[in-house]
């Protein structure tokens, strides 16, 4: 929760209109920009990440933020800090992974490399807003539908398996190691939705995204658990519903758009009120913002 306090302090100190979405939308330049970091032993461990997978993921998490804005990912810079134990092959494989995740869509154009005690990766991604309608978490409106792209729950279960030294089932574990940003979905929404709309990635969990959109837009998000796409394999694991709802790093996209558009998988609707109404196991459970934060905190603590 300390990071939340820090963000409040930063917002107060900077007093900037730009901070709040996955990306900052710089209208005068026709771009969006985002920056996200991965720290060794905080966000990943070399016990189960290969350098190639680490490069892939570092790029993918930033591509996901650009996709969430509705912009077109174009360029990336990468700062890498490496301990003495890291060799030339690590650097080569890491950058090969970054480049593969960028998949000829986005080009790596700079950054720097320095020494450190642990591996520290910070990536900045830039998207073009040309011919795109840019999202804001503030734009969800009563009556809009909530649609989703990407399966949920796999990354969280994959991480738990990896931490136990297991690397199967491959499709679950790979979802954690090499997530795929929903660039095509971001493009469809950004190019075709003409009204103001909300979009956000599920990097910190699906419920976190639903709660953030509800809070920022002053509405309630109502979703039906049974409609949330997930890999059938996740149902074999304990507390899999929690992983689908509160597990992070699946890097799906949630869009809140007018009813008339048929993009993504519909999972619910925007109602008046606040927080989230979740239909699950034949009941409707209400989650306030604080409730969601507690659940996420305890989910990751446990």
Vertex 3: Cα angle to 244 and 222 (nearest 5): 35
Task: State the Cα–Cα distance between residues 172 and 268, nearest whole angstrom.
Answer: 26
Cβ at position 55, least distance to a copy of itself in Å: 10
Which of 45, 103, 128, 167 touches a copy of itself (CB under 8 A)?
128
Give least dist CB 124 to a copy of itself, A.
Answer: 4
- Establish if 199 lies at the interface with a copy of itself (CB under 8 A): no
Which of 45, 95, 229, 237: binder of a copy of itself (CB under 8 A)?
95
Q: How many residues bind to a copy of itself according to rule CB under 8 A?
A: 57
Residue 75 touching a copy of itself (CB under 8 A): yes
- The site string for a copy of itself over 12-51 (x = CB under 8 A, - otherwise) reads -xx-x-xx---xx-x-xxxx-xxxxx-x-xxx--------
Strand pairing partners for 269?
A: 145, 222
In the set 58, 64, 69, 122, which binds a copy of itself (CB under 8 A)?
122
CB of 275 to a copy of itself, least distance (A): 25
Q: Report in angstroms how near the CB of residue 117 gets to a copy of itself at its nearest.
A: 6
Among 49, 56, 120, 246, binds a copy of itself (CB under 8 A): 120
Q: What are phi and psi of 72, to 5 degrees?
A: -100, 115
Pairing outcome for strands 72-82 and 107-115: parallel
Nearer of residues 59 and 254 to a copy of itself, judged by Cβ: 59
Q: Does 293 bind a copy of itself (CB under 8 A)?
A: no
- Which of 45, 99, 138, 196 binds a copy of itself (CB under 8 A)? It is 99
3-state secondary structure labels for all residues of 43-106: CECCCCCCHHHHHHHHHHHHHHHHHHHCCEEEEEEEEEEECCCCCHHHHHHHHHHHHHHHCCCC
Contact 42, 76 (CB under 8 A): no
110 binds a copy of itself (CB under 8 A): yes
Note whether 77 binds a copy of itself by CB under 8 A. Answer: yes
Nearer to a copy of itself, 114 or 272 (CB): 114
Q: According to the binding rule CB under 8 A, does residue 114 interact with a copy of itself?
A: yes
Rounded CA-CA distance 144/275 in Å is 16
Of 85, 73, 197, 180, the closest CA to residue 133 belongs to 197
Residue 8's Cβ-count burial label (10 Å; 0-12, 13-18, 19+) is: exposed
| DSSP code of residue 142 | T
DSSP strand E in 161-202: where?
A: 198-201
**Token pair of 208, please?**
């976190």
Interface residues with a copy of itself (CB under 8 A)? 3, 5-7, 9-10, 13-14, 16, 18-19, 23-24, 26, 28-31, 33-37, 39, 41-43, 74-75, 77-79, 81-82, 88, 91-92, 95-96, 99, 107-118, 120, 122, 124, 126, 128
């Amino acid at each position: 929760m300390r990071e939340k306090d820090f963000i409040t302090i930063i917002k107060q100190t900077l007093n900037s209109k730009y901070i709040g979405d996955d990306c900052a939308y710089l209208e005068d330049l026709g771009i969006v920009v985002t920056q996200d970091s991965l720290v060794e032993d905080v966000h990943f461990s070399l016990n189960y990440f290969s350098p190639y997978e680490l490069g892939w993921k570092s790029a993918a998490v930033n591509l996901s933020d650009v996709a969430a804005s509705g912009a077109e990912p174009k360029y990336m810079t990468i700062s890498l800090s490496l301990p003495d134990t890291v060799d030339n092959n690590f650097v080569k494989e890491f950058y090969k992974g970054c480049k593969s995740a960028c998949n000829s869509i986005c080009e790596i154009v700079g950054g720097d490399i320095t020494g450190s005690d642990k591996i520290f990766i910070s990536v900045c991604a830039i998207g073009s807003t040309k011919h795109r309608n840019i999202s804001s978490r503030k734009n969800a409106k009563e009556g809009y539908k909530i649609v989703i792209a990407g399966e949920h729950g796999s990354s969280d279960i994959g991480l738990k398996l990896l931490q136990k030294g297991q690397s199967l089932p491959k499709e679950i574990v790979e979802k954690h190691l090499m997530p795929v940003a929903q660039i095509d979905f971001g493009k469809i929404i950004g190019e075709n939705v003409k009204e103001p709309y909300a979009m956000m990635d599920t990097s910190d969990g699906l419920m976190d995204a639903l709660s953030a959109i509800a809070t920022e837009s002053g509405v309630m998000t109502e979703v039906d658990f049974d409609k949330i796409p997930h890999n059938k394999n996740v149902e074999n694991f304990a507390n899999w519903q929690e992983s689908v709802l509160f597990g992070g790093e699946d890097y799906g996209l949630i869009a809140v758009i007018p009813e008339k558009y048929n993009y993504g998988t519909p999972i619910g609707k925007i109602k008046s009120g606040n927080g989230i109404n979740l239909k699950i196991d034949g009941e409707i459970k209400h989650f306030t913002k604080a409730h969601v934060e507690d659940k996420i905190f305890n989910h990751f603590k446990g």
